[in-house]
C-alpha cells in the first residue's frame, strides 16, 4: 500500500469517524438494548427492576432471553449490546473501521476475490461514493448503533464468507488444497454469516448451492466449499427458526407466521419505489453493460465469466430487495444487502472496462459523472455535517440538563423536542438525517428506556410550535 493509498484510506476512516462521533445514542432501540432483555415486546415499557448491562454474564443472559422472546439475530444484537455496554466512544472507532473494511471487501470481491492492499484509488473512491450516494437510509445503516450492527456489520461478515467462493469462481482450475484450519474456519464463519440477515442469506445459499453442484459435476469440488455452506445453513436455521421470531410477532401484532394472516402481509410498492430511486444508476449501468458485453462474451471466455457473475449479482440484488415486498415491514435500510450486490457488480464492470478494453462507459460520460458526483458529494456532505452538528449540540445540551437537574429523581422532567433543520437542508443532505424523538407521554417505551438509563423519574418531550421545518 503506497502513501497515496494510505492517505485515501485514512481520509475515508476519518470521514466515517466524524459522522459516528456526531451521531449520539438514538432514542428507542439503543437505550433499550443497553439493558438486560426482559422478555417482552420492545414497545412495552421496561420495568423499574431492569438492570443495565455491566458484564459478559449480563450480555449472555440478555441474548439468551432475546433469542427466545425478541428475534433470531443473536450475532448482530450481541455486537450491539456489547458496544452499548462499552460505550459510544469505543463504538465510534470500531464502526468507522468496519465501514472502511466493507469498502475493501467490495473492492476485493470485484477484484476476482483476490485480497490485496495495492488498491486503485479511483475504484476505491467509486465504492466509497456509491455507498454514500446509493444506500437507502445511509445513516440508519452506517451510523445508528443498533442499525449498523444489524446491517453494516452483518454485510462485512457475509462478504468475508463469500469472498473465497468468488476467488474459486475465477481461478477455477487451481487446486487450492487449503489446510484443516481453513476448512473449519469456513464452517465457523458460515455459521456467523448465516446468523445475520433474513432477506439476504437465503439467496446466497441458493447461489452457493448452484455453484457447488456445478463444481461437483466437473469434479472440482473442494471440502471447504461444503463445510462453508453447511455452516451457512446452520447459521440461517438458527436465525429463521429462533423462537423469538414467533414470540415477537405474536406480542407486537397478535398474529402468527401464517402467510397473509389477518392482512398482516401487504405489498410494499411505495417503499420499493423509494429503494429503486436510490439504486437506479447502479441498475442502469449494470443492465446496460450486460447488453454491451453480450457479443464480447461469445468470443472471450474471460469476458463471459465476468458477464455471468454480474448477472448473478443482479439476480441476488433483485431477490434480496424483492422479497421484502412480502415482509410485514419494509424499512429502506433492509435494501442495503441488495445495494451491496449492485455496487460489487458495478465495481466489477469498471475493472472489466479497463482489463478487457471494452467501452462500457464513454470517457466523456465518465468525466461528466465525476464532476456531477463531486459536486453532489461536496454539497450533501456539508449539509449532512451541518445538520449532524446541530443535533449533536442540541442533544448534549438536553443531556446536560437531564444529568444535572436537581429535581430529576423526584419529578417528571419536561423538555421540548429538538429544533429541526429546514426541509431544504434535509433534502440537500440526501435524506441522511436521523431524527431524535420521544413522546409527550412519560410512559411511552422510549421515554421509559431513557429515564431508566439516566436514573430519573420520568421525562416528557413536548412539541414546539415551530416543529414543522420550513
Asked if residues 36 and 60 have their Cβ atoms less than 8 Å apart, the reply is no
Residue 280 is predicted with a pLDDT of 95
What Å distances lie between residue 431 and 26, 96, 458, CA to CA? 17, 20, 32
Instruction: Report the candidate in 340, 365, 368 with the shortest Cα–Cα distance to residue 353.
Output: 365
Instruction: Report the candidate in 273, 264, 344, 267 with the shortest Cα–Cα distance to residue 306.
Output: 344
pLDDT tens per residue across span 373-420: 999 999 999 999 999 999 999 999 999 999 998 888 889 999 999 999
pLDDT tens per residue across span 8-42: 999 999 999 999 999 999 999 999 999 999 998 88
- Tell me what the pLDDT averaged over the chain comes to: 91
What does the alpha-carbon distance between residue 321 and residue 317 come to, in Å, rounded to a whole number?
A: 6
The mean per-residue pLDDT over the stretch 189-204 comes to 95
Better-scored residue on pLDDT, 329 or 117? 117
Contacts of 57 (CB under 8 A, 6+ apart): none
Phi and psi at residue 71, in whole multiples of 5°? -160, 180
pLDDT tens per residue across span 224-266: 999 999 999 999 999 999 998 876 666 655 544 444 444 444 5
Asked if residues 420 and 408 have their Cβ atoms less than 8 Å apart, the reply is no
Q: Which residues on neighbouring strands pair with residue 459, listed in sequence order?
A: 413
Dihedral (CA of 305, 309, 310, 315) sign: positive
Contacts of 442 (CB under 8 A, 6+ apart): 412, 448, 451, 458, 459, 460
Least confident window among 270-274, 279-283, 398-402: 270-274
The mean per-residue pLDDT over the stretch 65-76 comes to 93
Residue 249 is predicted with a pLDDT of 65
Instruction: Report the candidate in 100, 52, 56 with the shortest Cα–Cα distance to residue 78.
Output: 56
Q: How many CB atoms lie within 10 A of CB 117?
A: 10
Res 195 pLDDT > 50: yes
Task: Express as a percent the part of the chain with pLDDT over 70.
Answer: 94
Contacts of 416 (CB under 8 A, 6+ apart): 461, 462, 463, 464
3-state secondary structure the chain: CCHHHHHHHHHHHHHHHHHHHHCCCCCCHHHHCCECCCCCCCCCCCCCCCCECCCHHHHHHHHHHHHHHCCCCHHHHHHHHHHHHHCHHHHHHHHHHHHHHHHHHHHHHHCCCCCCCCCCHHHHHHHHHHHHHHCCCHHHHHCCHHHHHHHHHHHHHHHHHHHHHHHHHHCCCCCCCCCHHHHHHHHHHHHHHHCCCHHHHHHHHHHHHHHHHHHHHCCCCCHHHHHHHHHHHHHHHHHHCCHHHHHHHHHHHCCCCCCCHHHCCCCCHHHHHHHHHHHHHHHHHHHHHHHHHHHHHHHCHHHHHHHHHHHHHHHHHHHHHHHHHHCCCCCHHHHHHHHHHHHHHHHHHHHHHHHCCCCCCCHHHHHHHHHHHHHHHHHHHHHHHHHHHHHHHHHHHHHHHHHHCCCCCCCEEEEECCCCCCHHHHHHCCCCCCCCCCCCCCCCHHHHHHHHHHCCCEEEEECCCCCCCC
Task: Write down the residue that cell numbers 461444503 correspond to.
Answer: 226
Phi and psi at residue 274, in whole multiples of 5°? -60, -45
Asked if residues 186 and 165 have their Cβ atoms less than 8 Å apart, the reply is no
Task: Write down the residue that cell numbers 415491514 correspond to.
Answer: 329
What does the alpha-carbon distance between residue 340 and residue 203 come to, in Å, rounded to a whole number?
A: 13
What does the alpha-carbon distance between residue 113 and residue 111 come to, in Å, rounded to a whole number?
A: 5
Task: Write down the residue that cell numbers 454491451 correspond to.
Answer: 292
Residue 336 is predicted with a pLDDT of 96
Q: Which range, 3-7, 151-155, 365-369, is most confident?
A: 151-155
Per-residue pLDDT band for 459 (boundaries 50, 70, 90) equals very high
Per-residue pLDDT band for 469 (boundaries 50, 70, 90) equals very low
What does the alpha-carbon distance between residue 212 and residue 228 come to, in Å, rounded to a whole number?
A: 11
What does the alpha-carbon distance between residue 128 and residue 103 come to, in Å, rounded to a whole number?
A: 6
Res 325 pLDDT > 90: no
The mean per-residue pLDDT over the stretch 342-365 comes to 91
pTM reported for the whole predicted model: 0.93
Amino acid at each position: 500500500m503506497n502513501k497515496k493509498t494510505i492517505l485515501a484510506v485514512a481520509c475515508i476512516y476519518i470521514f466515517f469517524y466524524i459522522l459516528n462521533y456526531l451521531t449520539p445514542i438514538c432514542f428507542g432501540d439503543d437505550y433499550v438494548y443497553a439493558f438486560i432483555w426482559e422478555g417482552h415486546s420492545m414497545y412495552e415499557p421496561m420495568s423499574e427492576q431492569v438492570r443495565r448491562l455491566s458484564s459478559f454474564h449480563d450480555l449472555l443472559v440478555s441474548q439468551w432471553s432475546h433469542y427466545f422472546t425478541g428475534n433470531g439475530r443473536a450475532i448482530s444484537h450481541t455486537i450491539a449490546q456489547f458496544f452499548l455496554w462499552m460505550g459510544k466512544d469505543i463504538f465510534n472507532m470500531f464502526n468507522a473501521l468496519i465501514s472502511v473494511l466493507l469498502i475493501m471487501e467490495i473492492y476485493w470481491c470485484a477484484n476476482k476475490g483476490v485480497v490485496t492492499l495495492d488498491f486503485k484509488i479511483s475504484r476505491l473512491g467509486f465504492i466509497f461514493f456509491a455507498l454514500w450516494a446509493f444506500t437507502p437510509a445511509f445513516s440508519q445503516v452506517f451510523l445508528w448503533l443498533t442499525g449498523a450492527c444489524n446491517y453494516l456489520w452483518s454485510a462485512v461478515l457475509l462478504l468475508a464468507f463469500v469472498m473465497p467462493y468468488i476467488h474459486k469462481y475465477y481461478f477455477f482450475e487451481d487446486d487450492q488444497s487449503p489446510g484443516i484450519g481453513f476448512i473449519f474456519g469456513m464452517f465457523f464463519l458460515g455459521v456467523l454469516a448465516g446468523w445475520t440477515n433474513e432477506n439476504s442469506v437465503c439467496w446466497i445459499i441458493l447461489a452457493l448451492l448452484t455453484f457447488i453442484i456445478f463444481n461437483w459435476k466437473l469434479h472440482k469440488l473442494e471440502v471447504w466449499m461444503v463445510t462453508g455452506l453447511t455452516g451457512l445453513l446452520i447459521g440461517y436455521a438458527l436465525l429463521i427458526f429462533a423462537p423469538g421470531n414467533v414470540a415477537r410477532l405474536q406480542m407486537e401484532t397478535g398474529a402468527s407466521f401464517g402467510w397473509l394472516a389477518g392482512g398482516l402481509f401487504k405489498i410494499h410498492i411505495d417503499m420499493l419505489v423509494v429503494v429503486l430511486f436510490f439504486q437506479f444508476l447502479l441498475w442502469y449501468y449494470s443492465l446496460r453493460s450486460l447488453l454491451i458485453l453480450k457479443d464480447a462474451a461469445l468470443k472471450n471466455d474471460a469476458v463471459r465469466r465476468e458477464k455471468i457473475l454480474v448477472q448473478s449479482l443482479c439476480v441476488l440484488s433483485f431477490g434480496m430487495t424483492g422479497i421484502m415486498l412480502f415482509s410485514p415491514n419494509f424499512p429502506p435500510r433492509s435494501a442495503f444487502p441488495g445495494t451491496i450486490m449492485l455496487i460489487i457488480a458495478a465495481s466489477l464492470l469498471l475493472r472489466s472496462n479497463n482489463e478487457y478494453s471494452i467501452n462500457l462507459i464513454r470517457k466523456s460520460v465518465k468525466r461528466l459523472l465525476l464532476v456531477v458526483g463531486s459536486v453532489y458529494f461536496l454539497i450533501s456532505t456539508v449539509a449532512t455535517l451541518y445538520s449532524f452538528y446541530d443535533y449533536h449540540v442540541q442533544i448534549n445540551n438536553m443531556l446536560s440538563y437531564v444529568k444535572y437537574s436537581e429535581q430529576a429523581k423526584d419529578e417528571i422532567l419536561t423538555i421540548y423536542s429538538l429544533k429541526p433543520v429546514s426541509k431544504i437542508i434535509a433534502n440537500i443532505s440526501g435524506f441522511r438525517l436521523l431524527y431524535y424523538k420521544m413522546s409527550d407521554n412519560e410512559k411511552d417505551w422510549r421515554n421509559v428506556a431513557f429515564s431508566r438509563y439516566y436514573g430519573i423519574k420520568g421525562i416528557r418531550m413536548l412539541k414546539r410550535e415551530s416543529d414543522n421545518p420550513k
